[in-house]
Amino acid sequence: MLRIRTRLVVTLAVAALVLAGCGGDDNSSSGGSVGSSNEIKVFAAASLTAAFTRIGEDFTAADGGTKVTFNFAGSQALATQIQQAAPADVFASADIPNMDMVKDLVGTPQSFASNLLAIVVEKGNPKGVKGLDDLASPDLKVVLAAPEVAAGKYAAEILGKAGVTVKPVSQEDNVKAVVTKVSLGEADAGIVYVTDVTAGGDKVEGVDIPEDQNVTATYPIATVKASNAQDKAQAFMDLVLSDRGQQVLEQYGFLPPPTT
Amino acid sequence: MTAGARHRRAGGGSRIPALLLVPAGLALGFLAVPLAGLLARTPWGNLGAELVTPRVLEALRLSLVCSLGAVAVSIVLGVPLAFLLARVTFPGRNLVRALTTLSMVLPPVVGGVALLLAFGRRGLVGQWLDQWFGITLPFTTAGAILAEAFVAMPFLVISTEAGLRAMDRRFEDAAATLGAGRWTILRRVTLPLIAPSLGAGVALCWARALGEFGATITFAGNLPGVTQTMPLAVYIALETDLQAAIALSLVLLVVSLAVLVALRDRWFPTA
């Protein structure tokens, strides 16, 4: 009994030391005293999860093993985190307003992709949703992203343009949660990015929103001024904007950025 | 040992060992500093204005409705369960007790997913509720109450069971020999004797229900006026309106403090 307890104490002590060691490492890299850190932190909109994970792998392979850590969440949550001085090196937003929220804290943003929105329904479309007008039906449980979320803002814009009043049963905190509620069968329909329908797998399918009713979501990317790894952050941004990066984004259903 | 010495021992002694003081002080600071941070950033000037916006009032009202609903569900179902656990010996009782407390240690988001898979429209039980009675729980206030009861009920069960185990059953026996029926004994003897544990259980259960976030947003969704309780409103507000989020947090903080103060005589008897 005593031996076991001693062993436990020793294990805990070792664990504490290891953890403390990690903390020290982290400090030295983010403190920038080493010169070049071996990790960059990319804050990216939830809808970019699959595409950016792939681009991150390419970056690590090309840049001598530099680790890319992602923080995927709603753009509005990421913007707030950056305002509260979260350690980000790159910020990729799903809309321009959230990038504008942090414009004093980031370099010059560049648009790198665009996305359209679609109605997401369960596989086989059991409720026979054909278009935006059907979403007004009281028999249909519709979930949207919250108005604070980029996807929610776009959905409101689309419904406003089409003159359709929808009473959602829930306003989800990010666009992926909308897809989840539909794929679980709890909701009948939602409005999400075209790319989320693709990423949603075989439980869901999309109903197109006609071009004249749709809006184009523009995705801007920028390096964060407070970053200690400016070079690597810029390199990541360059990769996203390069042909290779654009190819990956296209694979995941994104459209090229609007040409202006 | 003199009375004075005994008194000193009971009071913790006059010399505080540094070995104790340093980690204890750190612990206290660790727990208190975040609260200080909240208070330091509170917009005291327009706190009143922040708190009477329709959105805040709606969330506050909904939080009260849902948390009190969860307490009611917990009393109706949880107290009998506590009696069962404390008074009846049956095979697998320890397993039942572990099951009872499972939702206390389960991450609430996992609880929410589990609730969806059980009571959702396609869930184990939910599909029958939907087909037979046309009842669907997700995205409804009833769903929010269910989610809160799921995480909060164990607090009431545990507290009540502890009270029942600690009470002297001879009072019940005495009442029985005097001709009191079971209902009378329950009402006049047992419940008054366990009232402090029951009260503490209700208070804890209510506080936990009031603060519930993960299971609620996962199972019941987030819609102002229907399922958006205070913690959900804080979370959503945090992403766009920090001032409102802080004001809302402060309300939750005050409520939690009030519960603790109300319970202090039970848990922190003043020497």
CATH number of the CATH domain containing B148: 1.10.3720.10
Which structural domain, as residue segments, surrounds residue B72?
65-229
Tell me whether residues A80 and B116 touch, CB distance under 8 A: no
Position B217 in a domain: yes
- What is the rounded distance in angstroms from the CA atom of residue A159 to the CA atom of residue B3? 79
End-to-end CA distance of chain A: 74
Residue with tokens 């021992």: B9
A158 and A144 in one domain?
A: yes
Confidence of residue B42 (pLDDT cuts 50, 70, 90): confident
Q: A80–B242: do the CB atoms touch at under 8 Å? A: yes
- Residue B30: inside a domain, yes or no? no
Instruction: Establish if B271 belongs to a structural domain.
Output: no
CATH of the domain at A98: 3.40.190.10
Instruction: List, for residues B19-30, the tens digit of each pLDDT value.
Output: 898 999 999 999
CB-based contact, A185 to chain B, within 8 Å: yes
Say whether residue A172 is in contact with chain B using an 8 A CB cutoff: yes
Looking at the structure, do residues A228 and A146 belong to the same domain, yes or no? Answer: no
Contacts of A178 in chain B (CB under 8 A): none
A168 in a domain, yes or no? Answer: yes
| pLDDT digit string, tens, across residues A98-111 | 999 999 999 999 99
Interface touch A172/B221, C-beta < 8 Å: yes
Amino acid B258: pLDDT: 81
Q: What pLDDT does residue B3 have?
A: 47
Judged by DSSP in three states, A94 sits in: coil
User: What is the average pLDDT across B90-103?
Assistant: 92
Same domain membership, residue A202 and residue A123: yes
In a domain? residue A20? no
- pLDDT of residue B149 exceeding 60, the answer is yes
B55 in a structural domain:
no
Answer yes or no: is pLDDT of A24 > 80.
no
Closest CA to A74 of B46, B213, B238: B238
Length of chain B: 271
Confidence grade of residue B144 (pLDDT, cut at 50, 70, 90):
very high
d(CA A178, CA A196): 10
Distance between CA atoms of residues A207 and A124, nearest Å: 11
Q: Do A71 and A100 belong to one domain?
A: yes
Classify residue B187: in a domain, yes or no. Answer: yes
Q: Which residue has the higher pLDDT, B66 or A200?
A: B66
Q: In this predicted structure, what is the pLDDT of residue A69?
A: 93
pLDDT in the model for residue B14: 64
pLDDT on residue A101 = 92
Residue B153 lies in a domain: yes
Position B52 confidence tier, pLDDT thresholds 50, 70, 90 = confident
Burial of residue B42, with CB atoms counted within 10 A of its CB: 0-12 exposed, 13-18 middle, 19 or more buried: middle
Chain A interface test: which of B122, B135, B218, B236 (most A C-beta within 10 Å) = B236
Q: Mean of the per-residue pLDDT values for chain A?
A: 85
Q: What is the pLDDT of residue A130?
A: 92
Question: Which positions in chain B have a beta carbon within 8 angstroms of at least one beta carbon in chain A?
Answer: 116, 120-122, 136, 138-139, 217, 220-224, 226-227, 235-236, 238-240, 242
Q: Nearest residue on chain A to B130, judged by CA atoms?
A: A186
Inter-chain residue contact A173 with B116, CB threshold 8 Å: no
Q: Does A196 share its domain with A223?
A: no
pLDDT tens-digit readout, A109-138: 999 999 999 999 999 999 999 999 999 999
Question: What's the pTM value of the predicted model, to 2 decimals?
Answer: 0.77
Q: Are strands A170-172 and A110-115 parallel, antiparallel or unpaired?
A: unpaired
- Interchain contact, A80 vs B224, CB within 8 Å: no
A126 shares its domain with A190: yes
Structural domains of chain B, count:
1
Residue B203: C-alpha distances to residues A115, B85, B145, B266 (Å): 49, 21, 16, 12
Residue A63 shares a structural domain with residue A184: no
Mention every residue, 6+ apart, whose C-beta is less than 8 A from residue B120: A184, A185, A186, B126, B137, B138, B219
Q: Which carries the bigger pLDDT value, residue B52 or residue B161?
A: B161
Q: Which residue, among A78, A101, A143, A170, would best test binding to B if mutated, counting the most B CBs under 10 Å from its CB? A: A170
pLDDT, average across residues A223-246: 94
User: How many percent of chain A have pLDDT more than 90?
Assistant: 67
First to last CA, chain B: 20
Confidence grade of residue B48 (pLDDT, cut at 50, 70, 90): confident
A128 lies in the same domain as A201: yes
Listed residue (A255, A260, A250) closest to A215, CA to CA: A255
Name the residue with tokens 């003897």.
B189
- For residue B119, give the chain A residue with the closest CA: A186
**Residue A4 forms part of a structural domain:** no
A108 and A184 share a domain?
no
Q: What is the Cα–Cα distance from B168 to B170, expressed in whole angstroms?
A: 5
Cα(A176)–Cα(A193) distance, integer angstroms: 10
Q: What is the pLDDT of residues B212-230, one digit of tens each?
A: 999 999 999 999 889 999 9
Does the beta-carbon distance from B222 to A184 stay under 8 Å?
Answer: no
Q: Residue B71's pLDDT is what?
A: 96
Residue B244, pLDDT score: 79
Whether residue A51 is found in the same domain as residue A173: no
Percent pLDDT > 70 in chain A is 85
Q: How many angstroms separate the CA atoms of A17 and A108, rounded? A: 42
- Compare CB distances from B236 to A169, A173, A187 and report the shortest one's residue: A173
Contact A141 B139 (CB under 8 A): yes
CA-based nearest distance A56→chain B, Å? 26
Domain count, chain A: 2
A30 domain-assigned: no
Residues A149 and A163 both lie in one domain: yes
Mark whether A202 and A162 lie in a shared domain: yes
What's the farthest any 2 CA atoms get from each other in chain B?
Answer: 75
Cβ neighbors of A44 (< 8 A, separation 6 or more) are A52, A70, A71, A72, A78, A90, A91, A92
Nearest CA in chain B to A167: B223
C-alpha distance from A63 to closest chain B C-alpha (Å)? 34
Residue A90: pLDDT over 80: yes
Give the range of the structural domain holding residue A174, as residue numbers without chain letter.
117-208
Q: Which residue has the higher pLDDT, A157 or B54?
A: A157
Answer yes or no: is B238 within a domain: no
